[in-house]
Chains A and B, each alone.
Chain A
């Protein structure tokens, strides 16, 4: 076989192969064509693609379809947050103003610091524990620590720590809010990163009852209220509350609280 025939043959084979494959692909693309709105694909490419369902629709592609067809809100994706909403708004011709990123926050300091009224044996789920005379914990407002929020999180951002309380990994958390709606006792709330002082208790029991059940609950002693230089804290119905618009995160209440219920987050 001389060089010329070899050359011609290789070109013919590769060319023929390319041609055959090309024709096949053209036919296939005609035959299997799927009509879609290009806007849906563009929105899909912006969305995070986690398919978590936090928007209330069946996955990201369904959400994208609904945004285009059925007037689903452009900021309906809590995972993507403001960036994604702004880009979708750009595509859909809608404007959006910025809000700050919020993360779930645990409104209970109890865990191992809270006494058990009885020994619970049964299904390891907060809702099941709740059904049995409001749970084993001495405090009706506290965290059960059975990890219903852990299982609700599609991203694996929550874990139950040594202290029997849920811990949220902010690097993984997408602020979808599924854990908040899953918690049967309302322990988890959304909190902004800039709101740094939080009262990690939501017990409205009298101080004496709280003290009997939990070493770290709010006993409504009003020390924080008296010491706050900007009057941001008020104790109502046996529970201290912080007015976040007044709070300067000076940390005085955190130091003064005899129960160590108040937490100063994100200390630099």
Chain B
């Protein structure tokens, strides 16, 4: 088990190893679902939820099944299976018991089941040799970092519909330019602050 403090893991997950702007994972949703703040918030909520859940499940799977059998090389494919199944299961339960939550998360949950950011968080947990609490916290923090960036990006894109933008870069190119500036800010800002 790695002896990194929980606070460090939290700050790493949210800022220093930010999934969208520093590791460039989960970019499809970063560009696809940030047209308005509301859907970005819905997507982010679902990601936080799924990342925490899948970090928990995959830690248990890895530590109690794959490591004792010396089958660590199977981690990638078995994580995919477990995450997809977990998302599906959660969808069933939420749909039955909390229909209002299902309606707001509904379309985003299946999107996430194969999201690379979720798998990335799980694999980073394994690679960093995190313990149970550390894994769960890192999953949650990574989701939180994702949320922050999604909200920033969607707010900027929503505002920028009111501005005159050259037609050549309207739409996706403009989103990429915004992403570039956000990313530069994130990398440089958190590079110089030692945590």
Contacts and interface: CB of A to CB of B under 8 A. Distances in A.
A21 B161 contact: no
Contacts of A159: 162
B161 A172 contact: yes
B127 interface: no
Interface residues of A, number: 26
A21 B95 contact: no
Given A21-B81, A21-B85, A28 B74 contact: no
B162 to A, nearest CB: 6
Interface stretch (A9-17, A76-84, A124-132): A9-17
Contacts of B99: 34
B74 A14 contact: yes
Contacts of B71: 9-10, 13
A25 B90 CA distance: 10
Contacts of A2: none
A32 B74 contact: no
A169 interface: yes
Contact of B161 (A18, A29, A171): A171
Interface string A24-39: 1100110111100000
B6 interface: no
Interface in B16-49: 36
A215 interface: no
B69 interface: yes
A25 B89 contact: yes
Interface of A: 1, 9-10, 13-14, 17-18, 21, 24-25, 28-29, 31-34, 49, 51, 59, 61, 155-156, 159, 169, 171-172
- Lowest 10 CB-CB distances: which A-B pairs, in order? A32-B96, A21-B85, A32-B92, A28-B92, A28-B89, A171-B161, A17-B78, A61-B103, A34-B95, A25-B88
Given A32-B93, A34-B96, A51-B103, 18 more contacts: A9-B71, A10-B74, A13-B78, A14-B74, A17-B78, A21-B81, A21-B85, A24-B89, A25-B88, A28-B88, A28-B92, A28-B93, A32-B95, A32-B96, A32-B97, A169-B161, A169-B162, A172-B161
